[in-house]
Amino acid sequence: MAETYQKKYISWMHAAMIAVAVLLAYFKIFDAGFISWDDADYVANNKDIQNFSIDNLSRWFSSFYIGNYHPLTMLSYAIDHMFWGAAPGGYHITNILLHIANALLLYAFAKSVQANIWVAFFVAILFAIHPVQTESVSWVAERKNVLYGFFFLSSLWLYTRYVAEERIGYLLLVIIAGIAAMLSKAAAVTLPLTLIAVDIWLHRPLGKAKVWLEKLPLLAAAVVLGLVAISAQKSGAFLAHHDTTAWNAIVYAGYAYVQYIIHLLVPVKLSVLYPYPASPGVIHYLFLLLALGIVTTGVIAYKRKWYVLSGGIWFYTVNIAIVLQFVQFGEVLMADRYLYIASIGVWVPLTYLLFDVLAKRGKQAIAIASAAIISVLFLFATFNRNEIWQSELQFWEAIVETHPQSAVAQNSLGGVYMMQGRYNEALKYIDEAIKLDGNNYKAWYNKGVLHLRKGELSEAEAALNRSVNINQYTKALFSRALLYQQAGQPLRALNDIEIVLQQEPYNARAHFIKGNCMEQTGNPETAISSYNKAVEYGNNEPLFYLRRGILKIRLGDYRGAIHDCSLVIERNPQNAEAWYWRGMAKHEARQMPCHDLNRARNLGYQPAQEALMKYCNKDQ
């Protein structure tokens, strides 16, 4: 009884220490903001998360977001928005709390597969505070990582309960948690194979059919949701971005397989992204041989019943293999976030080996002290690494400093300077990105937007044309449509905006531009239809109501025009144009317009003065 109480006490102390360590490591992140790289599209500018509705719920489960399918992640953002609105601090708090929960789940899981409670503790603490995890925890857009990690680790822990008690209810919960993980991030499709690693750690006989049959429901879900994920990547034009041969892809995969392990053991020069090399070198071929050697070691270890080592190699391999760019996606060879779950396959055997060797010599205290020192070093490294998440500029400057040959980083840093209005500095980095990769359509898009902001329309059109010719990038198409529409070329603008709406049917601004174009081409009824959709999807954007109201005056719907302009005034009483057009609508409806026109004039809207003189002369 006393021994059981002592173990529970130690477990609670370990749990508290894990939580405190994470809070200390991520202390800087509580007041960090959003960054433009995906945070804006997922959260800051995403109308889909700003309220709970049947339409939005359906949209989360039927739409792709930035080339990903993760409806539960979108649901989590919506819950955050309900509590925090647009304040980034709340989203960071959720990420950190999920990471703490994941570390505690890993602790519980590791205790189920390891006899030594200290091994479980240090597996969890190394996972929790290693600096490679900052990308998953400190980046709001990587909510999908910590959320899928929560369900993934829940499934692993539940699986150990199922194996121990053989209750079908536990297996059902394993399946439910596993599907939830896949609906949070497609990387969770590795779960059925990961459970084989758990079987190895638990010394289950892999020759029995039951061991494989019980994973069939998860395997079926993985196949279906894996195919959906591939469709999502295709929709976002993320597949096969980097041109390389099949052999080079294998070489790079072997290199990444080993390099990820090195980053765990020696976390220096970490980066949010690692670009492809110009061509394979000696180091890449050497690491490919090392990768083959590690996999072979896993097979030999299993045959010799070194189950901790073989299970760890299997765990790491199946979870990292999916991101080794055999099927190329995205624009980089490696990223720290891909280690979030895979790292567990490294920490379990290494921590076990440390304690096993020293405990046999009666020196467990030395093992604890050694692991504690390493943990403290990792904690400080994570605390310092979180500095880059304090501002957009620090974030991209750090990446460019580490990988100046990355076109993605150069272009993104240029985009930050552009947002700050520092156009000359922005152009320098954007041009460098184009020099590094002439097919970087996002860099050409940024260059087009930069020229558009500077009023250099011909240069803007040329850059946007290059972007669209490389890839039918919706942002470039939208910007070019805006350029054409403002230049009085509505038919050319319509061609682009229709393509945008095919890919993004709920894009309110695209519907608004389409409405503008329809007005310009003499189709006011069709324009009203487009403005209606802009209003529906635009989360009460005043500009959309105002434009629709002005058009309603032309169509003789004065009551509707007054209603739209009134909505604008309710949201912004200083909108002089809304006061003016409501006054004009009231005049046409034979109501008193003078108060509204007078407010418009007092707010500096010049046409109101003439209207006052014409319609309200008796009152002046």
pLDDT at 5 over 70: no
pLDDT at 432 over 80: yes
Superfamily of domain 540-620: Tetratricopeptide repeat domain (1.25.40.10)
Eight-class DSSP state of 42: I
Q: Mind listing the pLDDT tens digit for each residue in 478-504?
A: 999 999 988 899 999 999 999 999 988
Q: Mind listing the pLDDT tens digit for each residue in 81-138?
A: 999 888 899 999 999 999 999 999 999 999 999 888 999 999 999 999 999 999 999 9
Q: What is the pLDDT of residue 499?
A: 94
Residue pair 200/310 in contact (Cβ under 8 Å)? The answer is yes
Q: What is the pLDDT of residue 195?
A: 97
What are the sequence ranges of the domains in the chain? 13-389, 540-620
pLDDT at 576 over 80: yes
**Whole-model pTM?**
0.82
The residue count of the chain comes to: 620
- Decide: helix, strand or coil at residue 544: helix
Q: What is the pLDDT of residue 240?
A: 54
Residue pair 428/71 in contact (Cβ under 8 Å)? The answer is no
The mean per-residue pLDDT over the stretch 611-617 comes to 86
pLDDT grade, residue 59 (50/70/90)? confident
pLDDT grade, residue 35 (50/70/90)? confident
C-alpha count within 13 angstroms, C-beta hemisphere, residue 532: 8
Q: What percent of the chain has pLDDT over 70?
A: 96
Residue that the structure tokens 């071929």 belong to: 285
pLDDT grade, residue 619 (50/70/90)? very low
Residue pair 62/37 in contact (Cβ under 8 Å)? The answer is no
Q: What is the pLDDT of residue 329?
A: 60
Q: Mind listing the pLDDT tens digit for each residue in 227-268?
A: 998 887 776 555 555 567 888 889 999 999 999 999 999 999
Q: Which of 34-38, 119-123, 195-199, 308-312 has the lowest mean pLDDT?
A: 34-38
Residues 6+ positions from 336 with CB-CB distance below 8 Å: 132, 133, 134, 135, 136, 263, 270, 271, 272
User: Within 202-281, where are the H helices?
Assistant: 209-213, 216-235, 246-265
The average confidence (pLDDT) of the chain is 91
